[in-house]
Amino acid sequence: MKKNQFLTVRIESLTGNGNGIAHSDGQVIFVPAVACGDLCEVKIIKVKSSYAVAKVEKIIEFSPDRIQNACSAFPRCGGCSFQHISYENELSIKKQTVIDAVSRIGGLSVRVNDVIPSENICCYRNKAQYPIGEKDGKIVFGFYGTHSHRIVPCDDCKIQPEFFNRIMQYVTCFFNDKKLTAYDELTQKGLLRHCYLRANKQGSVMLCLVINAKSFEYEIEFADYLSNLKEVTSVYLNFNCNNSNVILSDDFKCIYGEEYFEDEFFGLNLRMSPDSFYQVNRSAAETLYKTAFTLLDKKKYENVFDLYCGVGSIGLSFAKYAEINDIQYQRLIGYEVVEKAIISAKINAERNGIKNSEFYVGDLVNPPKEIMEKYPPSLVIVDPPRKGCSKQLVEFFLSMEIPEILYISCDPATLARDLKTLSSAYDMSDITPVDLFPRTAHVECTVRLCRTGTRNTVINNR
């Protein structure tokens, strides 16, 4: 097989990130933006010792799973992987991704349930981070291309709310009218870096403009300009002069409206700062948490720990669920590295009437040994970032003999890695995937672990 060679191949399956898999003369070929069953003429663009990569030149025969792609930026944009196939097929691929991770990475034989679908597969995101660039001397916004920081202009993203696109078009008019410049990563010059939007359940929007400067000469005019949009209820500036890929710095300034963002979630009223973590698909996140909590079969706990707690959304949702379902617990303890998130978590507990709760700042690379020794946990809830729990934390769970762990994961690979280690001392429930990110390659999972010999009942389907 050679570079620039043309082949006719049948797509046999799709990977979890949406690449098609085909074979020719025993060689594996990865082909982006295809559907399982497509018969394609492809051009080889990369050849490695164990695989090749090709691009589609022509689809000769279409897969029955293929649907009409309605997004002008797909597949050039790196956000979505499955705009071109049926949602049923997407869910099947995501389930197989979890199965493969658990068996291949974890070496485990654990049942994986069907993926719980999202209520909405378009316009579901409550947050968007738009990189800003220039094209033909004009400011444009969009998303990064796959595996690059090349901006693909997009003003009609199908998974963002329609009003996000309108707001960005309105904002871009201001930028072009003032002849502002976009930040260039190579030269580190230019002003505008990102525009970040977050919407609550009522449709109110917080807008944050990220700039490569310590001040913004048009801040009063920009705030007045945005006040004409009824959806925009607060405007922030974020001053980020760092030469890095990190979108936000710690330097914020509210120039219009409310200082904090508020939203309704799981029967709670949550308050958060602009940089607080918050699930982007509200209704699907509520489904995820409820699915996790229903795995619990005990009706009484002592100390419940919510690790990686953020603004308290999971722990406080557990408290709400416990109240409704007659689950007793003595104390809820949240732990999180971001100090501003902990401040919000304490306020959120107070404003929602959840009194038996405490929140602490700390890095979970170094487990909260002193607090857990003071308040021995009977249940630990973890929802780590994509890199999973730290090795130290997993080993700490084993050494502390934590009776019960409720693990919520946003990455099947790191979940499988952590379960492999924990399986030496814990029995596991079925793994239930929940789709929080339709049309993308991401899938969330939840699983309950009970220390061997400590569980009340037989774990589901084990």
Gap between the Cα atoms of 103 and 269, Å rounded: 40
| pLDDT tens digits along 182-220 | 999 999 999 999 999 999 999 999 999 999 999 999 999
Distant-in-sequence, close-in-space partners of 196: CB < 8 Å, separation ≥ 6: 127, 128, 129, 130, 207, 208, 209, 210, 238, 247, 248, 274
Q: How confident is the model at residue 454 (pLDDT cuts 50, 70, 90)?
A: low
Enter the DSSP assignment of 82. Answer: -
What is the architecture, at CATH level 2, of domain 6-65?
Answer: Beta Barrel (2.40)
pLDDT value at residue 453: 66
Strand pairing category for 377-382 and 404-409:
parallel
Taking residues 132-158, what's their average pLDDT? Answer: 91
Residue 186, judged by CB atoms within 10 A of its CB (0-12, 13-18, 19+), counts as: exposed
Cα–Cα distance list, 277 to 2, 283, 344, 360 (Å) = 46, 16, 11, 16
- The candidate with the shortest Cα–Cα distance to 419, out of 109, 22, 51, 7, is 109
Q: Does residue 359 carry a pLDDT above 90?
A: yes
Domain with CATH 3.40.50.150 in the chain: 102-118+281-451
Q: Does residue 147 carry a pLDDT above 90?
A: no
Enter the DSSP assignment of 79. Answer: S
Q: Does residue 385 carry a pLDDT above 80?
A: yes
Taking residues 429-443, what's their average pLDDT? Answer: 97
Taking residues 334-345, what's their average pLDDT? Answer: 93
What residue type is 212 in one-letter code?
Answer: N
pLDDT value at residue 460: 40
From 195, 410, 445, 450, active-site residue: 410
Catalytic-residue membership of 410: yes
Tell me the two tokens of residue 71: 């997004």
Taking residues 386-401, what's their average pLDDT? Answer: 94
- Three-class SS state of 114: coil
Taking residues 360-367, what's their average pLDDT? Answer: 89
CA angle 161, 163, 165 (to 5 degrees): 85
Q: Does residue 232 carry a pLDDT above 50?
A: yes
Tell me the two tokens of residue 346: 């304490």
Domain with CATH 2.40.50.140 in the chain: 6-65
- The candidate with the shortest Cα–Cα distance to 276, out of 289, 265, 262, 287, is 262
Q: Does residue 403 carry a pLDDT above 50?
A: yes
Strand pairing category for 39-47 and 51-61:
antiparallel
pLDDT value at residue 299: 85
Taking residues 119-143, what's their average pLDDT? Answer: 95
Domain with CATH 2.40.50.1070 in the chain: 127-264
| pLDDT tens digits along 281-293 | 999 999 999 999 9
Q: How confident is the model at residue 459 (pLDDT cuts 50, 70, 90)?
A: very low
Q: How confident is the model at residue 250 (pLDDT cuts 50, 70, 90)?
A: very high
127-264 under CATH 3.30.200.20, yes or no: no
Percentage of residues in the chain with pLDDT exceeding 90?
Answer: 87
Q: Does residue 146 carry a pLDDT above 90?
A: no
Whether residue 461 contacts residue 431, with contact meaning beta carbons closer than 8 Å, is answered with no
pLDDT value at residue 429: 96
10 Å Cβ neighbour count for 214? 8
pLDDT value at residue 462: 36
Taking residues 411-430, what's their average pLDDT? Answer: 97
Taking residues 410-438, what's their average pLDDT? Answer: 97
**What is the rounded average pLDDT for all residues in the chain?**
94
> Whole-model pTM?
0.92
User: Domain 102-118+281-451: which CATH class?
Assistant: alpha beta
| pLDDT tens digits along 75-126 | 999 899 999 999 999 999 999 999 999 999 999 999 999 999 999 999 999 9
Q: What is the CA radius of gyration of the chain?
A: 24
Residue 282, judged by CB atoms within 10 A of its CB (0-12, 13-18, 19+), counts as: buried
